[in-house]
Amino acid sequence: MKLLIRGGRVVDPGRAVDRVMDVLIDGDRIGLNGTPDRVVDAGGMLVVPGLIDLHTHLREPGFEYKEDIASGTRAAARGGYTTILAMANTQPVIDNRAAVEWVLNAGKARGVVRLLTVGAVSKGQKGEELAELGDMIEGGAAAFSDDGNPVSSGELMRCALLYARMGDKPVIAHCEDRSLAGEGLMNLGYWSTILGLRGMPWVAETAMVARDLMLAELTGGRLHLAHLSCARSVEMVKEAKARGVRVTAEVTPHHLLLTDEAVNTYRFDTDTRVNPPLRGEADVEALLQGVRDGTIDAIATDHAPHHLDDKEVEYAYALPGIVGLETTVGLVMSRLVDTGRLALGTAIRALTAGPAQVLGLDRGTLAPGSPADVTVIDPAREWTCDPSRFASKGRNTPFKGWQLRGQAVLTVAGGEVVHEGIA
């Protein structure tokens, strides 16, 4: 099928393109010319490479009551994502080749968008014994991570970086020193004191970032830092990049938009409970600056759906996590781009070419010949964040009720229209 997306503002940061032009989809590739079977008028719309999420918890197998491959990839399509990377903290954990192949096959069978998977660093994500990384690379694992848990053993992390390097895959680090994070429920600071909630200090993150940067330097392995939340982390990544350490980093929309004051503003709403926790103003500013200057390569959702039963409990008993696949475009467009805090091209880069580079994918661009992954965003569409309308089974977002502007109106993954309009 040939689909012509006509007259949109094409923003393709990987090629420094930002101008009104047509995009032709020819089968599963971006085409150059030919007579289209269908024409979509994209006047006034943004036409961007299909968004890529480096951090999605799909919960299948094991926690299908929270999310499954079908619902999670449907949510992705509605949010404008054409490729998502599933995390390995399922039940059982994705820690061997058969499990990796199972996820990839399930993605092909039931997934709406392209599904990639992480393989665990350690068997059962127990942090004790290295999983069979080489075997998982052969099975198609795109990266390795014990996300949800840190890799507390430095020696295990060193080995993971070395083994992953053989397949040129990144190790995605969930940086948390558990001895410092303790039983913390939110950022340690003014608000944790006022609210009387146990806090976790920012050093719980930065201590681990420092260790992992040095292990990346030692091994020459590729390190990707998940969900950075503190100013000092950004500073260290910048310095390490300048010295040639092979490191990339991501930040979530919630860490760019909220501070720990939200726990007070939303009166202990457990949807503000997330790991790493929401931090302070200076952290938010440093994270934004990190996206602007390229220290942070990607905005990733850390889509972490939980059941109502996991959230409608006292703050201390709530599981951490925020859903993000269906809110990220609206949040980034209305609260970061429209407000002048991020340039449009920078924001789109962090959602497309940036994450593609982290994984070494030939995606995240609209260059002719590239895979036909395209997202059309209506930057003027106003909508209210209403979790009851999500395709995701997860409803846990602190952004519920927010008035947003900007929404994906057409998502094409591998040449197939996987989302059109709003349901």
**Contacting positions for ligand DOR (CB under 6 A):** 57, 89, 147-148, 174, 274-275, 304, 320-321
- For the bound state, the minimum distance from the C-beta of residue 345 to ligand DOR, rounded and expressed in Å, comes to 29
Which tokens belong to 222? 């590729």
- For the bound state, the minimum distance from the C-beta of residue 24 to ligand DOR, rounded and expressed in Å, comes to 39
Give yes or no for a contact between 103 and 86, defined as CB atoms under 8 angstroms apart.
yes
Indicate if the alpha-carbon torsion angle 48, 54, 60, 65 is positive or negative: negative
Query: What is the rounded distance in angstroms from the CA atom of residue 71 to the CA atom of residue 394?
Result: 9
Query: What is the rounded distance in angstroms from the CA atom of residue 31 to the CA atom of residue 28?
Result: 9
Nearer to ligand DOR, 61 or 345 (CB): 61
- For the bound state, the minimum distance from the C-beta of residue 87 to ligand DOR, rounded and expressed in Å, comes to 7
Nearer to ligand DOR, 80 or 321 (CB): 321
**Does residue 52 sit in helix, strand or coil?**
strand
Query: What is the rounded distance in angstroms from the CA atom of residue 5 to the CA atom of residue 272?
Result: 39
- For the bound state, the minimum distance from the C-beta of residue 277 to ligand DOR, rounded and expressed in Å, comes to 9
Nearer to ligand DOR, 229 or 407 (CB): 229
Query: What is the rounded distance in angstroms from the CA atom of residue 32 to the CA atom of residue 10?
Result: 15
Q: How far is CA 315 from CA 44, 225, 267, 388, 412, in A?
A: 44, 27, 10, 22, 39
- For the bound state, the minimum distance from the C-beta of residue 250 to ligand DOR, rounded and expressed in Å, comes to 12
Nearer to ligand DOR, 91 or 265 (CB): 91
Query: What is the rounded distance in angstroms from the CA atom of residue 227 to the CA atom of residue 241?
Result: 17
- What's at 193, amino acid-wise? T
DSSP-derived pairing of the beta strands 374-384 and 46-49: antiparallel
- For the bound state, the minimum distance from the C-beta of residue 95 to ligand DOR, rounded and expressed in Å, comes to 15
- For the bound state, the minimum distance from the C-beta of residue 226 to ligand DOR, rounded and expressed in Å, comes to 7
Nearer to ligand DOR, 147 or 205 (CB): 147
Nearer to ligand DOR, 167 or 182 (CB): 182
Active-site hit among 177, 271, 302, 373: 302
Query: Helix 154-166 and helix 203-219: axis angle, to 10°?
Result: 50
**Does residue 172 sit in helix, strand or coil?**
strand
To the query of whether residue 302 is one of the catalytic residues in this protein, the response is: yes
Query: Helix 231-242 and helix 281-292: axis angle, to 10°?
Result: 30
Which tokens belong to 102? 């199972």
Nearer to ligand DOR, 46 or 251 (CB): 251
DSSP per-residue codes, 217-237: HHH---EEE-S---HHHHHHH
- For the bound state, the minimum distance from the C-beta of residue 13 to ligand DOR, rounded and expressed in Å, comes to 28
Residues ≥6 apart with Cβ < 8 Å to 54? 85, 172, 224, 226, 250, 298, 300, 355, 358, 359
Nearer to ligand DOR, 170 or 406 (CB): 170
How many CB atoms sit inside 10 A of residue 368's CB?
13
- What's at 308, amino acid-wise? L
- What's at 382, amino acid-wise? E
Give yes or no for a contact between 91 and 338, defined as CB atoms under 8 angstroms apart.
no
Query: What is the rounded distance in angstroms from the CA atom of residue 190 to the CA atom of residue 203?
Result: 16
Question: Catalytic residues, which ones?
Answer: 302
